[in-house]
Amino acid sequence: MAEDNVILRVDNLVKHFPITRGIVIQKQVGAVHAVDGISFSVKRGETLGLVGESGCGKSTTGRTVLQLYRPTSGSVVFDGIDLVKIKGEELRHMRRKMQMIFQDPYASLNPRMTVGEIVGESLVVHKIAKKNEIEERVANLLELVGLNPAFSSRYPHEFSGGQRQRIGVARALALQPALIVCDEPISALDVSIQAQVVNLLEDLQKQFNLTYLFIAHDLSMVRHISKHVAVMYLGVLVEMTDRDELYSQPLHPYTQALLSAVPIPDPVADSKRQRTILEGDVPSPVNPPSGCRFRTRCPIAEAQCAESRPEFRELRPGHFVACHLAK
């Protein structure tokens, strides 16, 4: 991916969660390899879709990028500053420019706070506006996401799932960020509501030149909203390229298997497709396989796949893949 106008650059990001044993004296006996050396970049005003099955490390990646989890190693350069190397007030100041939309609209909103308090809380914390200004900003934000400003005095339990997620979007926009990590923001919503929320995110992106890291497991929705797509498996990236290139010419066996499971609206074409059925379960991130992480389920794996970890290489212009056998 070209380096011009890149707002976020992640290089060799690693996040391991220690496993300890003992009550008084805790000893580390292992680690969960949630994210294990991934690299990608996102241009300003664009969307990178991050896909993969549950437990592959997508959400951990998003939270580590925002420094909600401090990485084990690697760098996260946002707007020219390595977030890994800063802390305290400097990191707090950078948090204004990056926000998150959480997966569960029922769990991510404080039930004891009104909508106005939830959306305006960040303005109070960062001391950006006075009380009368906050009320006006909250009203504008609610209107921006398609909610009645009069709803600001209501509580989260009075809203539907789709409305709650719109409240989450309004909260993320309050500080006028440049980057928003969308952590599966539509997976808990009805299909009809999913389209509304995605359309809202696209409209807001055009209006404010927002950059999204869009985390999801719905490949059809990722294709709709993302310019580039990265595929993740068991803590590592296995493929990354332009959206259209990925869906028309997938090179990694795991990507091919994922795409073969996506339903298409043409029954005749669907009946002619060759499905790739993956055998077995995803290995434990506590003890990942040697060499290629996917080799235990890969239909074309060879001896070399167990011996060395495949390099994440550029096989075609802008098309990166981590597979010994990809051509």
pLDDT for res 269:
65
Q: Which of the residues in the chain have pLDDT under 70?
A: 1-3, 266, 269-272
CA separation for the pair 233, 56 (Å, rounded): 5
Contact indicator for 52, 216 with CB cutoff of 8 Å: no
Instruction: For tokens 């509501």, name the residue.
Output: 193
Residue 243 neighbours by CB under 8 Å, 6+ apart: 49, 222, 223, 226, 227, 228, 229
pLDDT for res 6:
94
SS3 assignment, position 79: coil
Note whether residue 290 is domain-resident. yes
Note whether residue 327 is domain-resident. no
Contact indicator for 48, 226 with CB cutoff of 8 Å: yes
Mean pLDDT for the chain? 91
- Exposure pattern of 134-161 as b/e (b: 16+ CB <10 Å)? beebbbebbebbebebebbebbbeebeb
Note whether residue 1 is domain-resident. no
pLDDT for res 1:
42
Note whether residue 278 is domain-resident. yes
Report the candidate in 237, 263, 217, 211 with the shortest Cα–Cα distance to residue 319.
237
Tokens of 143: 């209107």
Note whether residue 120 is domain-resident. yes
Report how many domains make up the chain.
Answer: 1
pLDDT for res 2:
42
Contact indicator for 169, 198 with CB cutoff of 8 Å: no
Instruction: For tokens 């007030």, name the residue.
Output: 89
- Number of other residues whose CB lies within 10 A of the CB of residue 99: 23
HEC letters along 302-320: CHHHHHCCCCCEEEECCEE
Note whether residue 90 is domain-resident. yes
Note whether residue 287 is domain-resident. yes
Domain of 184, CATH number, reads: 3.40.50.300
Report the candidate in 191, 145, 152, 149 with the shortest Cα–Cα distance to residue 168.
145
Instruction: For tokens 């003890």, name the residue.
Output: 287
CA distances 40 to 43, 228, 252, 268, Å, are: 10, 10, 17, 37
CA separation for the pair 276, 218 (Å, rounded): 17
Which residue segment(s) compose the domain that 293 sits in? 6-21+28-321
- Residue 235 is classified by DSSP as T
CA separation for the pair 284, 183 (Å, rounded): 22
| Global pTM value | 0.91
